[in-house]
Structure 1
Amino acid sequence: MAGKVVLHYFNGRGKMESIRWLLTVAEVEFDEVYLSTREQYEKLLSDGDLMFQQVPMVEIDGMKLVQTKAILNYIAEKYNLHGKDLKDRVMINMYSEGVIDLMEMIMILPFSADPKPKLDNIQSKAKERYLPVFEKALSGPIYLVGGKLSCADVQLLECTLMLEEKFPGILADFPNVKSFQGRMTRIPAISRFLQPGSKRKSQPDETYTKTIMEVFKIKIPFP
């Protein structure tokens, strides 16, 4: 029998946070091993655990998986969060990748020398490119695809909460998305995840940023 799922990443959100969210919704318990030193990272490399020398890395079902989208797809398939057929899955993947594009813009903010222009760009793109898509998709359905909860719904919720942390009131012009957010937060597993003391991570702080820069030997903030 496979042991408990183990996540290898920093003690912060980053690309692992969507994996934490999806495992939580699937009601899968997991442990975490936090990277805090260069030596830990080099040990993973020397053991051959990181196919592309990158984290996140997830131990699950006797495998050591890397690449965030591959991990998310595996979890979604395993726990029936990836649609009923091929057409559902491609729609779910399109929505998911759009959400990921937006979240990744937010993820790099702590490493930016001047985050203000990036914040303005994120807000503009969120309101003009991304949120209108989801507002239209949720004009009638409860969920994005096939009337059933999927990984895309989970990622959209995560993303809207991240946006509201940076831009309070950003969903004011997107009532369908806001209603969707309210429905999602009432799902018991999600409601628990949003409570203090859960495995959900806080917004990145200086310790998180400094640790990543030291482990990966990043010398200066991104431009």
Structure 2
Amino acid sequence: DGFLLFQQVPMVEIDGMKMVQSRAIANYIAGKYNLYGKDLKERALIDMYVEGLFDLNELILTYDYQPADKKEQHLAAVVDKATNRYFPVFEKVLKDHGQDFLVGNQLSRADVQLLEILLMAEECKPDILAQFPLLQSFKARISNIPTIKKFLQPGSQRKSPPRQEDIPEIIKIFY
């Protein structure tokens, strides 16, 4: 019927549009709710940080679906990339910027994306932020913004990691 432009999901209906493509949807929502910076320079920084985080996001998302004999190796790759490549970058950004947020002086899509990555990384390895005090503070600060705090409560729409008993069925569907 043409609603799925590229014949794939996600598809979101918003403001009378049927939007597809995750990043296009996220950018639209970020712009609509003032989470996309005040000018072109801030938007470029937000895009840069978010795109960088997607690389780590992909690695973390596939962790639960690794065969048992590859899981430990995959976790080591997640930890290595997170702690040696990505987290030091964001620790430095927070230090250099000297604000509560990654870009400008208000919450942006980049802050939300970084928080989600930090939470996902901790679900894989609870002490993964041990060497990153600014990221720990960032996580606590952003998690306590009332709307985010509510979203993170049990029973919210935030997706928890898949249950072990569901993984074989998920693998059959997607892989």
Which of residues 10, 34, 45 in structure 2 aligns to 1:91?
Answer: 45
One-letter code of the match for 2:23?
K
Give the alignment's Cα RMSD to 1 decimal: 1.5
1:188 aligns with 2:146: yes
State the alpha-carbon separation in 2 of the partners of residues 51 and 169 from structure 1.
42
One-letter code of the match for 2:169?
K
1:213 aligns with 2:172: yes
State the alpha-carbon separation in 1 of the partners of residues 102 and 159 from structure 2.
25
1:116 aligns with 2:72: yes
Higher-helix-fraction structure: 2
State the alpha-carbon separation in 2 of the partners of residues 161 and 110 from structure 1.
15
State the alpha-carbon separation in 2 of the partners of residues 112 and 69 from structure 1.
25
1:170 aligns with 2:128: yes
Alignment of 1:4-15 (within 5 A): none
TM-score between the two structures when normalised by the length of structure 1: 0.72
Aligned to 2:90: 134
State the alpha-carbon separation in 2 of the partners of residues 120 and 195 from structure 1.
29
Answer with 47-56 or 128-137: which moved more: 47-56
Aligned to 1:145: 103
- Where does the alignment leave 5 or more consecutive residues of structure 2 unmatched? none
Q: CA offset at residue 116 of structure 1?
A: 2.1
TM-score between the two structures when normalised by the length of structure 2: 0.90
Give the 3 Å change call, closer, same or farther, for CA 156–194 of structure 1 in structure 2. Answer: same
Aligned to 1:22: none
Aligned to 1:18: none
Give the 3 Å change call, closer, same or farther, for CA 195–77 of structure 1 in structure 2. Answer: same
Alignment of 1:75-90 (within 5 A): 75-90=29-44
Q: CA offset at residue 53 of structure 1?
A: 2.2
Identity percentage of aligned residues: 56
One-letter code of the match for 1:141?
Q
Q: Is the 8 A contact 2:64 2:167 kept in 1?
A: no
State the alpha-carbon separation in 2 of the partners of residues 147 and 110 from structure 1.
36
State the alpha-carbon separation in 1 of the partners of residues 60 and 9 from structure 2.
18
Aligned to 1:35: none
State the alpha-carbon separation in 1 of the partners of residues 25 and 81 from structure 2.
27
Cα offsets for 1:5-39 (capped at 9, x unmatched): xxxxxxxxxxxxxxxxxxxxxxxxxxxxxxxxxxx
The 3-state SS of whatever aligns with 2:86 is: helix
Give the 3 Å change call, closer, same or farther, for CA 202–137 of structure 1 in structure 2. Answer: same
Q: Is the 8 A contact 1:110 1:209 kept in 2?
A: no
One-letter code of the match for 1:176?
L
1:67 aligns with 2:21: yes
Q: Which protein, 1 or 2, shows the higher relative CO under an 8 Å CA cutoff with sep ≥ 6?
A: 1
Give the 3 Å change call, closer, same or farther, for CA 110–51 of structure 1 in structure 2. Answer: farther
Q: Is the 8 A contact 2:65 2:167 kept in 1?
A: no
The 3-state SS of whatever aligns with 2:130 is: helix
Q: CA offset at residue 147 of structure 1?
A: 1.5
Q: CA offset at residue 209 of structure 1?
A: 5.7
